[in-house]
């Protein structure tokens, strides 16, 4: 048996590289990318739990949806659980029946740049999860009758989301910030599209994107690498790389153009009014793509603005009684996205005061930079988070999934070194490029029916009922 870190010589898979204990292989026939992260037990410290995560990530998300098809990626993800000819409810072999029976925790998620299907289960049953994912990669039925019942399920999911003012505000801010790029529509889709999309439309979507060459299969936990590669080849190996586009043309995803967002040249504002108790302010600046050279520095900036009670937003807002919660986030996406600061208003506090405080927190970084102490704390937090993220196979899968989606899985294993290389100067420079008021969208959630706040006015250029 080879040492854990020696690449495997496998007839069906070509070894590509190994970074941070994760090995990448590519199927020689159909291009399926495979990432393996085997747990290595240490007899002196007991055995790892005999569990593993199997995950398939497709490089398709709401980013790939056009007008009339918003929400298609997510609705298709739901229909993927409705079954194939082999695994379906009528036979008592639906995905849930088979995998939950053996204690698997299974689900799927859809996001801007990717869709993933995963199962966390006892290692002895890993083969079942692989078999099911391979079967539904090309065998999903996507039938009219399944869509009919699942459409109302997704509409209820959409209603649940709309109950939450913060989510509604986020949708409004993204829609205002992105006029042209598909990041402007919610991942779950606009209601009328969810109501009208056809099974044929979803089938076309499925036939375009659900192929081995557009997917990455990840296996994390306690397993034998050689046996897993054998299994992956046995189940996925016979599937063609992608759709036959005719005349040797490349599959659609290879050359697909996604609308580029035109430069923003002025501040935009949006207000959401909805029944509720306490307001929210959200400031979102246009920010670079997830693989941009500034992206690591922006992650550090998120950390020192909002991680814990030493962070600037806590000190400036929550500790002073302006907010009940304040945070920053910067989702690293494949295309340019947003850098967001937001705060939930404390009772009796006006939106203007909180907006001013958030904007001053941003301006302060550009003006004065960040301290060595803050930088050291942020780095230390990232180092600890990186260790925590390797605690259990599911946590690893979740982080790895986002790195795959942004376009480079090595972002996950190399994250610690990348963050340790960020300087205070790099944080300030990145902040100065992002915090430009002409590239800012401000969103207010203004509750109606709550208690009045003296002197507050609530105005925006657009409003959503």
Partner 1 sequence: MDHGPRTTDHGLLREDHPSPHLAERVVEAEAGAARLWLLPTPVRDVVAFRGSFETAPDFATDDDLVQHLLADLLDKGTRRRDRFAVAAALEGRGAELAFYPDGLRVGFAGKCLRADVADVLALAAEQLREPLLDADEFVKEQARAVAGVRQAMDSTSAQASGALKRRMYPPDHPNYNRPFEVERAALEALTVERVREYHAAHFGGTGLRIAFAGDLDPAAVTEAVRATLGDWAPHGLAARYAPDAAPTPPGRVDVPMADKHNLDCRFGHALALRRDDDDFLPVYVGVFALGGNFSARLMQEVRDRQGLTYGIGAAVSGVAVEHGGHFRVSVSLSGANLERGLAATEEVVRRFVAEGVRADELAEKQETIAGTHVVGLATTGGLAARLLVNAERGFPVAYLDAYPDLVRALTVDAVNEALRRHLDPDRLHLAVAGTLPA
The footprint of partner 1 on residues 197-226 (CB under 8 A) is 221-224
Locus of tokens 């196979």: 393
Q: What's the rounded Cα separation, in Å, for the pair 138 and 56?
A: 13
* Six-digit token string for 142: 């996507």
Q: Which is nearer to partner 1, 62 or 123 (CB)?
A: 123
Q: Which is nearer to partner 1, 291 or 376 (CB)?
A: 376
Q: Which residues, 135 to 164, sit near partner 1 by CB under 8 A? A: 148-157, 159-160, 162-163
Q: Which is nearer to partner 1, 193 or 294 (CB)?
A: 193
Q: What's the rounded Cα separation, in Å, for the pair 255 and 244?
A: 15
Least gap, CB of 440 to partner 1 (angstroms): 27
By CB atoms closer than 10 A (0-12, 13-18, 19+), residue 230 is: middle
Q: Which residues touch 213 (CB under 8 Å, ≥6 apart)?
A: 30, 31, 32, 241, 242, 251
Q: Where are the alpha helices (DSSP H) in 163-198?
A: 165-177, 191-196
Q: Which residues, 76 to 105, sit near partner 1 by CB under 8 A? A: 86-87, 89, 91-94, 96-98, 100-105
Q: Which residues, 290 to 309, sit near partner 1 by CB under 8 A? A: 307-309
Among 48, 258, 289, 458, contact with partner 1 (rule: CB under 8 A)? 48
Least gap, CB of 248 to partner 1 (angstroms): 36
Q: Which is nearer to partner 1, 97 or 423 (CB)?
A: 97
Spatial contact of 43 and 161, defined as CB atoms under 8 Å apart = no
- Which among 167, 97, 159, 179 is positioned nearest to 132, based on CA atoms? 97
Q: Which residues, 422 to 461, sit near partner 1 by CB under 8 A? A: 447-450
Among 6, 9, 14, 49, contact with partner 1 (rule: CB under 8 A)? 49
- Which among 236, 218, 209, 198 is positioned nearest to 115, based on CA atoms? 209
Q: Of 9-17, 37-45, 179-187, 424-432, which part binds partner 1 (CB under 8 A)?
A: 37-45
Binding to partner 1 by CB under 8 A, coded x per residue (else -) over 402-421, reads --------------------
The secondary structure of residue 84, as a DSSP letter, is: B
Helix, strand, coil percentages for the chain (3-state, nearest 5): 45, 20, 35
CA dihedral 110, 111, 115, 116 (to 10 degrees): -80
Least gap, CB of 140 to partner 1 (angstroms): 15
Q: Which residues, 306 to 345, sit near partner 1 by CB under 8 A? A: 307-310, 315, 318-319, 321, 324, 344
Least gap, CB of 250 to partner 1 (angstroms): 34
- Between CA 132 and CA 137, with CA 134 as vertex, the angle to 5 degrees is 105
Least gap, CB of 46 to partner 1 (angstroms): 5
Q: Which residues, 240 to 279, sit near partner 1 by CB under 8 A? A: 274-278
* Six-digit token string for 284: 């979102």
Binding of partner 1 at residue 47 (CB under 8 A)? yes
Among 376, 425, 437, 462, contact with partner 1 (rule: CB under 8 A)? 376
Least gap, CB of 453 to partner 1 (angstroms): 13
Q: Which is nearer to partner 1, 213 or 396 (CB)?
A: 396
Least gap, CB of 274 to partner 1 (angstroms): 5
3-state SS, residue 379: helix
Binding of partner 1 at residue 385 (CB under 8 A)? yes
**Pairing of β 22-27 and β 13-19:** antiparallel
The secondary structure of residue 140, as a DSSP letter, is: B
Binding of partner 1 at residue 190 (CB under 8 A)? no
Q: Which is nearer to partner 1, 204 or 325 (CB)?
A: 325
Q: How many residues does the chain have?
A: 465
Q: Which is nearer to partner 1, 298 or 378 (CB)?
A: 378
3-state SS, residue 305: helix
Spatial contact of 264 and 438, defined as CB atoms under 8 Å apart = yes
């Amino acid at each position: 048996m080879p040492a854990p870190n020696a690449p495997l010589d496998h007839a069906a898979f070509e070894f590509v590289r190994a970074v941070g204990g994760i090995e990448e292989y590519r199927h020689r026939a159909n291009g399926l990318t495979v990432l393996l992260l085997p747990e290595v037990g240490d007899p002196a410290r007991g055995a790892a739990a005999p569990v593993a995560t199997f995950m398939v990530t497709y490089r398709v998300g709401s980013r790939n949806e056009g007008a009339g098809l918003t929400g298609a990626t997510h609705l298709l993800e739901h229909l993927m659980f409705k079954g194939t000819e082999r695994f379906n409810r009528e036979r008592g072999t639906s995905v849930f029946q088979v995998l939950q029976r053996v204690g698997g925790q299974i689900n799927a998620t859809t996001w801007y740049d990717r869709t993933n299907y995963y199962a966390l289960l006892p290692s002895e049953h890993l083969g079942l999860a692989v078999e099911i994912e391979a079967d539904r990669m090309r065998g999903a039925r996507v039938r009219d009758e399944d869509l009919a019942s699942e459409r109302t399920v997704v509409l209820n999911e959409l209603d649940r989301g709309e109950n939450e003012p913060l989510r509604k505000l986020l949708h409004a801010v993204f829609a205002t910030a992105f006029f042209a790029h598909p990041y402007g529509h919610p991942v779950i889709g606009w209601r009328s599209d969810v109501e009208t999309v056809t099974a044929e439309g979803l089938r076309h979507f499925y036939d375009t994107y659900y192929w081995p060459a557009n997917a990455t299969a990840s296996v994390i936990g306690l397993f034998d690498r050689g046996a897993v590669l054998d299994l992956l080849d046995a189940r996925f190996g016979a599937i063609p790389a992608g759709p036959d586009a005719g005349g040797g043309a490349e599959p659609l995803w290879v050359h697909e153009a996604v609308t580029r967002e035109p430069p923003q040249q002025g501040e935009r504002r949006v207000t959401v009014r909805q029944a509720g108790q306490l307001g929210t302010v959200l400031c979102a600046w246009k920010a670079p793509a997830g693989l941009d050279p500034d992206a690591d520095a922006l992650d550090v900036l998120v950390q020192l603005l909002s991680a814990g009670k030493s962070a600037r937003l806590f000190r400036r807002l929550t500790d002073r009684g302006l907010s009940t919660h304040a945070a920053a986030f910067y989702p690293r996406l494949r295309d340019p996205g947003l850098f967001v600061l937001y705060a939930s208003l404390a009772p009796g506090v006006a939106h203007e005061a909180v907006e001013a405080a958030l904007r001053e927190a941003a301006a302060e970084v550009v003006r004065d930079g960040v301290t060595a102490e803050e930088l050291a704390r942020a780095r230390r937090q990232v180092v600890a988070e990186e260790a925590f993220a390797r605690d259990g196979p599911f946590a690893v899968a979740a982080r790895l999934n986002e790195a795959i989606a942004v376009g480079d899985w090595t972002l996950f294993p190399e994250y610690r070194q990348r963050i340790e290389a960020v300087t205070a100067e790099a944080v300030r420079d990145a902040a100065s490029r992002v915090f430009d008021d002409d590239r800012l969208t401000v969103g207010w959630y203004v509750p109606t029916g709550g208690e009045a706040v003296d002197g507050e006015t609530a105005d925006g250029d657009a409003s959503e009922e």
